[in-house]
Structure 1
Amino acid sequence: MATPRVCVLRAPGTNCDYETAFAFEQSGAQADRVHLFRLLEDPKLLADYQVLCIPGGFSYGDDVGAGVVFATQLRHRLTEAIGNFLQRDTLTLGICNGFQVLLKAGILPGGSAGWSASTQTQPPATLTWNANGRYTDLWVNLKVASSKNVFLQGIDTLPCPIAHGEGRLVVSDPAILADWKTNGQIALQYVDSKTAQCDGELLPFPVNPNGSVANIAGLGDATGRVLGLMPHPERFLFATQHPQWTRLGLKGDGEGFKLFRNAVAYFG
C-alpha cells in the first residue's frame, strides 16, 4: 500500500490538529501539521500532498464568523494552489471549523468543479448559528446518506461527538437539496437511533443538535473525494472515548478511525 502524505492545515486558533494528524498516522499515512502562514509563503508545498485536511478549532477566533478569515485566505491568496490540488486525484477533508472553511471558501459544495477565482455573491449554502443560539457539546448519531464518498465507504451509522456554535447548515434555495441528493452529496445526516429516522421532517434537539436543514451533518462534492462534516471523528479513535463504553462493552478502536483508514486505503 502506498503511503499518502497528509497536509493537516492549521491556522491561529486551530486546536484539533494534533489529534487529526495522529488519526491519519495511525491509519498508515504520513501526516504533517502545516501552518497556513508557511503555505502562504510557498503555495507550491501543497503539490507534495495527496490529502488536505482542515481540522476543527476556532481559526482566527471566529471573530467575524466561523471559518471566514481562514476561508478568505484560501480563496484569495491560494487560489491557484487549491485549484491545482482539487484537480488532481486527491482527497480533501474538513472537520467542524474545517467544514465551515471549505463551505465558505467555495470548495464545497462543488469541489474542483465549483472552484473559481471569483467570490460568489450568493453562495448556495452556509453554516450559521445553532438554532438554540448556544455553543453545543454532546454526542450524536450519524447515518451515512451517500455511498459514493471515499471517506465513508463501508460505514452505515456512526456515533460521534459535536462541539460547535455555528453548525446549522442553511441553503439559499431549498431546491438545491434535490440536486445534492441526486449527486450523492448529502454525505451524513443526524439520525434518531430509536426510530432510524433521518429523512423527512427536521429532527428535534438533541438528535439534530443545531437545526441543520434536512438533518445534514456532512456534505461532499459530486466526485466523492471531498467531505466536510460538523462532528469530530478524531475524538472517537478509542472505544473508551465513548461516554457509554462500559455500559455498551466497547473495546479497542473507536469508530471514528474508519474515516481516516478509508482515506489511506484510497491510495492503496
Structure 2
Amino acid sequence: MVWNIGDMIRRRFVRSLAAAAIVLLAGATAGAETILFVGNSFTFGAGSAAMRYRPDSVTDLNGEGIGGVPAIFRRFAEQAGLDYDVAVETGGGRSLGWHLAERRARIDRAWDHVVLQEYSTLDAARPGDPTRFIADTQTLARLFAVRNPGVRLHLTATWSRPDLVRAGGNPWTGRPIATMANDLRRAYDRAAAQTRPVVRGVVPVGQTFTCAIRAGVADADPYDGIAPGKLNLWGDDHYHASTAGYYLEALMLFGSITGRDPRSLGVREAAAADLGLSPRQAGDLQRVAHRAIATDGACGR
C-alpha cells in the first residue's frame, strides 16, 4: 500500500491525539481527589462571610456562586499541600430527599468522596424523626457506589439550634443546648450503620459546638449576650452558624476526611484571616476540632 503525505500527516496527528489522551487520563488518575458536598444552608454558609468565600475555588453545580464550607475546606487542603477538586450542590432549607428528586442528574457521577448534610431537624414535618433521612442516605449511597465502588461517604451531623430550645412545640424546647446535637448524632450513627462500608463515618460537627462551649471558647446561649472573650457560634437568627461556626465545621471536615490534625494549619491560617477571625480565635477553634476528632465528639465527657 502506498500512502501519500496527507495520509501520513493525518495518521501522525491521530497518534498524537491518542498519546495526549493517555497522558491526560494518567494525570487525572494520579491527580486531585474529587469531593462533592451535598447539603443546604448549613453547608453553603448562610448569613455569614463564608457563603461567598472564594467561589472560584470550587465548582457550584447549581451555578449560584456558592463558596461556603466547601471553599474553606479547599483552602485548608491547599495550605496542607493536598489536592482536592471540590464541587458543591446545595439548596436552602432542603433535605437529602429533595436533592435526590430535583438534582439527581447533577450529582449522579463518579466521586472519590461525598459529604452529605441533612435538614437541621432531620424531617421538617416531623422534627427528630430519622426515617426519611436514613432511607435517603441509603439511596444516595447506592447511587454513588454504582458510579465508583470505592467512593467514601461522610455524614455531617449538625448543631443544636438555640431558636428551637427557646421556641415551643418541638422535641428540644427547654432542653439543655447539647441535647439536640446528641439526638442528631444518634440518628446519623444509625444512618451510617445501615450504609457501611460506603459511609465511612459521621463528622460530629454539632457535638463539636458543645465541645467549644465546654472548653470556654464559645458562649452557650446567644440570647443572653455573648460573654467577653468568647465566640458566638451562631448567626443573628440563633439558627444558622456564624462565620466562626462555619469555620469550625470546615475544620472538622478537613480533619476527619484527610486525617490531618487541624492544629497543623496554624494560628495564622489563611482562611481565618480572610474571614476576619483573629489568630487566637483560629487557634482556639483548631484545638477544639482536634479534641473533638480525638474523642469522636465526646471531648472527654
Judging by fraction of residues, say which structure has more strand. Answer: 1
Judging by fraction of residues, say which structure has more helix. Answer: 2
TM bucket (normalised to shorter chain) is 0.3 to 0.5
Q: TM-score, normalised by structure 1?
A: 0.39
Q: Which has the higher contact order (CA 8 A, sep 6+)?
A: 1
Name the larger-Rg structure: 2
Q: TM-score, normalised by structure 2?
A: 0.36
